[in-house]
Amino acid sequence: MTAEELKSVLAQRDRNSRKALSRWVMEQEEENKERCAQFLSQGIGGALEPKLYSGFRRALLLSRCAMVLAVIVIIGAYLISDFGFALVEGIWNRYCMALGIILAMSLFAGGSILVQNRKEQLIARCYLAQAEAGN
């Protein structure tokens, strides 16, 4: 993908452009693992890049918090369904556990999607910044 195509993909916000960006980033990660790891660990120091890098780091932190919260929600739902509703028999225990699992899965999926989106944006912008600096 050329720099112009990458700029147009980044400018658009439809599903096809997000899929194209995701495919391109996966290809770049397979070909240049060290370069992508450098982008994700320290960036390249461009003008727009610190904002994107801090957004990625924030999303990574939020994702990790969401994973911990998901585990806590699962454990809490189990404890509530097992001990908290001991007087209420039957179906309420299952509903409480199912609600906890759905909530935990939503937290985990949301955090993962956020991190992946920010990672793709950061890698693509860093590649563009390096391409422009090289020209």
pLDDT score, position 11: 84
DSSP-assigned letters across all residues of 18-77: HHHHHHHHHHHHHH-HHHHHHHHHT----SSHHHHHHHHHHHHHHHHHHHHHHHHHHHHH
pLDDT score, position 86: 59
Taking only the tens of pLDDT, the chain with its 135 residues reads: 778 888 888 888 888 888 988 899 899 889 988 888 887 776 655 555 677 788 888 888 988 888 888 888 888 777 776 666 655 566 666 777 778 788 888 988 988 898 898 888 888 888 888 777 775
pLDDT score, position 99: 81
pLDDT score, position 55: 83
pLDDT score, position 76: 78
pLDDT score, position 49: 66
Residue 51, Ramachandran bin (φ over 0: left; ψ between -120 and 50: alpha; else beta): alpha
